[in-house]
């Protein structure tokens, strides 16, 4: 079992996999048999059931029925999946505060589901993000179309559990005050750019200590459909 799981989840450490196996198996046994268990994996599962009066009983894998074994394997894979998502979340936390390019894949109850293709070192990621209705500028809410490519500000990367499945969700925004400043930094190559205030779809007040090329300002203004007001402070 361990060799198969290690091959499938080779990015996780051996100790993480062993811990997930023990926790997943313990959870399945506890629910199925309404008792407390101690589970260790040392080449094979070592299972000890705790009796009501403090006594303990060793249970061999052969004593476990096929249905319970399937449940144990399900819980083990679920626990490993959680560890895998947490590891991915930690790896991708540097996305927060960045602007990413993403394609509109679905529009569901006003929320925009976005597919993003990211390259990090030698790894290529296809991630799904969501831009909630409240994080969309009023003037854009009826404009998005499936298949269109937009720029999105990454608010946070979160592991989310729903319907007993853990997934990675990237929370996106088009109303963030930081969005105009990040776009201007990307287009101009100037780092010291801040957005003091922003009214999405109307105006963004930018503060910097250097001259920003007019072409960069116009591009961002066109992208956001708002006036970019720049103040240079020496």
Tokens 């853990």, residue located: 166
The string over 88-103, giving b where at least 16 C-beta atoms fall within 10 Å of a residue's C-beta and e elsewhere, is bbebbeebeeebbebe
pTM for this entry? 0.66
> Lowest-confidence range among 148-162, 174-188, 190-204, 216-230?
148-162
Distance CA 8, CA 81 (A): 11
Q: Is the four-CA dihedral 67, 68, 73, 77 of positive or negative sign? A: positive
As a whole number, mean pLDDT of residues 165-172 equals: 77
What angle, 0 to 180 degrees and rounded to 10, lies between the N-to-C axes of helices 14-33 and 66-91?
Answer: 140
45-100 pLDDT per residue, tens: 888 888 767 778 888 877 888 898 888 888 888 888 777 777 776 777 788 899 99
Structure tokens at 123: 């790894």
As a whole number, mean pLDDT of residues 18-42 equals: 86
202-221 pLDDT per residue, tens: 999 999 999 999 999 999 99
Confidence of residue 161 (pLDDT cuts 50, 70, 90): low
Number of H helices, E strands in the chain: 5, 11
As a whole number, mean pLDDT of residues 156-173 equals: 74
Distance CA 156, CA 168 (A): 11
């Amino acid at each position: 079992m361990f060799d198969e799981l290690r091959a499938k989840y080779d990015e996780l450490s051996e100790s993480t996999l062993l811990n997930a196996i023990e926790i997943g198996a313990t959870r399945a046994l506890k629910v199925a048999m309404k008792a407390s268990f101690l589970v260790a994996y040392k080449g094979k599962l070592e299972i000890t059931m705790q009796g009501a009066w403090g006594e303990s009983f060793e249970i061999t894998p052969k004593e476990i029925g096929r249905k319970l074994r399937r449940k144990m394997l399900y819980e083990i894979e679920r626990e490993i999946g959680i560890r895998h998502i947490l590891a991915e979340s930690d790896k991708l936390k540097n996305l927060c505060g960045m602007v990413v390019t993403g394609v509109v894949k679905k529009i569901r109850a006003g929320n925009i589901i976005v597919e993003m293709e990211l390259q990090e070192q030698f790894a290529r990621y296809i991630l799904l993000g969501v831009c909630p209705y409240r994080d969309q500028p009023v003037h854009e809410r009826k404009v998005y179309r499936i298949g269109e490519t937009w720029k999105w500000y990454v608010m946070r990367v979160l592991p989310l559990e729903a319907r007993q499945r853990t997934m990675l969700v990237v929370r996106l925004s088009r109303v963030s005050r930081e969005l105009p400043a990040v776009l201007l930094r990307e287009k101009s190559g100037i780092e010291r750019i801040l957005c003091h205030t922003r009214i999405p779809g109307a105006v963004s007040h930018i503060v910097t200590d250097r001259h920003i090329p007019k072409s960069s300002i116009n591009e961002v203004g066109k992208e956001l459909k708002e006036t970019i007001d720049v103040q240079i402070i020496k």
